[in-house]
Amino acid sequence: MSRPARLLQLLDLLRRARQPRSGPQLAQTLQISLRTLYRDIATLREQGAAIVGDPGIGYEMRPGFLLPPLMFTADELEALLLGARWARQQADPQLASAAGTAMDRIRSALPLELRIEVDTTGLLVPPVATPDQQPEPWQSSLRQAIRAQHKVVLHYQDQHGVLTHRPVWPFAMAYFERCRVVSAWCELRQDFRHFRADRVLTLHDSGERYPQSRQQLIRRWLQHTGYQVQMG
């Protein structure tokens, strides 16, 4: 976990706590040392967080303290909420849970009038999965491999039922309504290939970083496919 993400999680823990949390409790929850926790608390205090307490006593957020309000337009909030609701329907359980947590965190930092807008929005994402359609168990592993830029080996069954072992360098995953498609460089074909996640039988993350960066692969892939995408 990055330090900014850890600081945000620490703020969230203190904000939700109903009684002071001890340093060891917080450190254990965040999986960091006590020394790191004390440094993080000092950093948050320097940035204006009203954290009271000391080692041996416990820490809590001063009553009435709120995170700095996040100012979004109504359209921006609706876009965020719609995206989070879509992710909760379409993504793997880990990503779906993260989408819900992210929206809860954003909601808690909003001014009252914007929080009401979020709670009463009429934008809905109806379920699209049939009862026998479950998220592929490899989604989370594939996402993590893409993030870490790791080579993986797919035991893959193509549309004709042919089984192959594919060492690939995954760099993107597209979420279509009925399936997820992984874009990767295939060592077997020495070319870019696309694999449906629901045709992956097993997946092994080698833990080995592939030789090119994800950014390089995406640029090559865009040139290869002829897509005209503006890169920010």
Kindly indicate the confidence band of residue 13, based on its pLDDT and cuts at 50, 70 and 90. Answer: confident
d(C-alpha 124, C-alpha 205), whole Å = 36
Determine, yes or no, domain membership for 190.
yes
Interval 11-36 mean pLDDT: 89
Q: The domain containing residue 219 runs over which residues?
A: 139-225
Domain shared by 23 and 100, yes or no: no
Mean of all residue pLDDT scores within the chain: 83
Do both 84 and 53 map to the same domain?
A: no
- pLDDT tens per residue across span 75-103: 888 888 888 888 887 778 888 888 888 88
Other Cβ atoms less than 10 A from the Cβ of 11: the count is 20
pLDDT at 231: 33
Q: What CATH number does the domain containing 155 carry?
A: 2.30.30
For residue 18, the model assigns a pLDDT of 78
Q: Per the structure block, which two tokens stand in for 4?
A: 């900014």
Is 231 contained in some domain?
no
Burial 140-177 (b: 16+ CB within 10 A, else e): ebbbebbeebbbbebebeeeeeeeeebbbbbbebeeee
Per residue in 108-140, pLDDT tens?
A: 777 666 777 778 877 777 776 554 555 677 788
pTM of the predicted model over 0.75: no
Lowest mean pLDDT among 51-55, 108-112, 194-198: 108-112
In this structure, are 111 and 177 located in the same domain?
no
| Phi, psi (degrees; rounded to nearest 5) at 185 | -90, 125
Asked whether the beta carbons of 50 and 39 are under 8 A apart, the reply is: no
On whether both 93 and 153 belong to a single domain, the answer is: no
Q: What is the pLDDT of residues 138-160, one digit of tens each?
A: 788 888 999 999 999 999 998 88
Number of structural domains in the chain: 3
Query: What pLDDT shows up at residue 230?
Result: 34
Last residue of one domain, picked from the residues 11, 32, 61: 61
For residue 128, being part of any structural domain is answered with no
